[in-house]
Amino acid sequence: MEKLLTKEEIDALVAAVFDGTLVPENELAKEGPQAEQFDLLDIEAHRAIPNLDIVYDGFIRYNRVTMSNRLGRMVDIKKEEAVPYKFGDFLSVLPNPVCMAIYKMDPLKGAALIAFDATLVFTIVDSILGGSGVQPQGMNRLFTSIELRLVEKIVKDALADLEKAWAPLCPASMNLLRLEMNPRLVNIVPPEYQVVTMSMKIQIEETVGSMILAIPFLTIEPIRDKLKRGVQMDMMAVDPFWSYRLSEELMGAPMDLSVEMGGATISLSDLLHLTPGDTIMLEASGKDELTVKVGGTKKFMGIAGVSGGNKAVQITRALNAGGED
């Protein structure tokens, strides 16, 4: 049980203060546990979130490939500036109309959101439906339920890529809660609480739209120390877009392929006396399997034949790395 001062001790303490023998300021300045103030409403206290941009860099690398494959078009994503806002102020600067995806970051507290402007939404919808991918002029209206269902596919792809980007730092499950068009109906935190936002420019061929990710400081605070220390980002070191392009280029690389018709053993004397027109008897018959080499390495066995008037070989079996069955 915590010890409490008696009435006599309190009187002695007050008297010492009045006499000047005890100076409260000096006592408070002594080393010991100090209470640290933390204000979720103070924007200056949270202006810099260290290493959060590394997470977004990983997300960009993953999502660039994912969105390109989903839309069947070349997509480029560029990160802009991370800006802290009071949540109420952030909602007021969102474009109109806007599509907002609210999602949960389990096991972290609270919810976060991704906002898409109208240009990006209409371009995504047009691309998925097989259009030109160019936003029609004068499209400044609320989105239909069908358009939102199509955008939901892109949102779920983005959440899956966010999971990969956060995994080296804090494994989290990104679960979509709902899509919303009215900012007044979005309340992931009270209006006076702070959120950190990251704006990204999404270029789909010739059209450029905007995507904004917003996470409350309340959600990030439990892992703030991890962000300060930094994390091993080896899992994010490989750009999947670069790997995809490299694999595509390798698939088109030319390879030398040769077929051994057979072999024979002759003496050095016979070799030296060979002349044009001489016949060498091979040890294999024409019906035996032939060795197929790729780049000088035994890879397959096959049977000789003719296809379309050309000499050909039909693969019968593959060999392992050592050239054995």
Lookup: tokens for 299: 């890879």
Kindly report the pTM of this predicted structure: 0.57
* CATH architecture of the region 44-248: 3-Layer(aba) Sandwich (3.40)
- Each domain of the chain, given as residue ranges in start order, spans 44-248, 257-273+282-318
**% residues pLDDT > 90 (the chain):** 33
pLDDT of 307? 86
Q: What are phi and psi of 313, to 5 degrees?
A: -135, 135
pLDDT of 159? 95
Residue 107 CA: distances (Å) to CA of 156, 161, 210, 243, 276: 18, 17, 28, 31, 81
Is the dihedral angle over the CA atoms 93, 100, 130, 208 positive or is it negative? positive
pLDDT of 1? 44
**% residues pLDDT > 70 (the chain):** 78
CA distance 12 to 22: 11
What pLDDT, in 10s, does the model give residues 171-224? 889 999 999 999 989 989 998 999 999 999 999 988 899 999 999 988 888 887
Asked if the model's pLDDT at residue 44 lies above 70, the reply is no
User: Residue written as tokens 């996470």?
Assistant: 215
What pLDDT, in 10s, does the model give residues 129-151? 887 766 666 567 889 999 999 99
Residue 50 CA: distances (Å) to CA of 30, 55, 81, 154, 225: 32, 10, 14, 28, 9
DSSP H stretches of helix in 195-267: 217-220, 224-229, 240-251
pLDDT of 32? 54
pLDDT of 285? 73
Sorted by sequence, the CB contacts under 8 Å of residue 293 that are 6+ apart come out as: 257, 258, 259, 260, 299
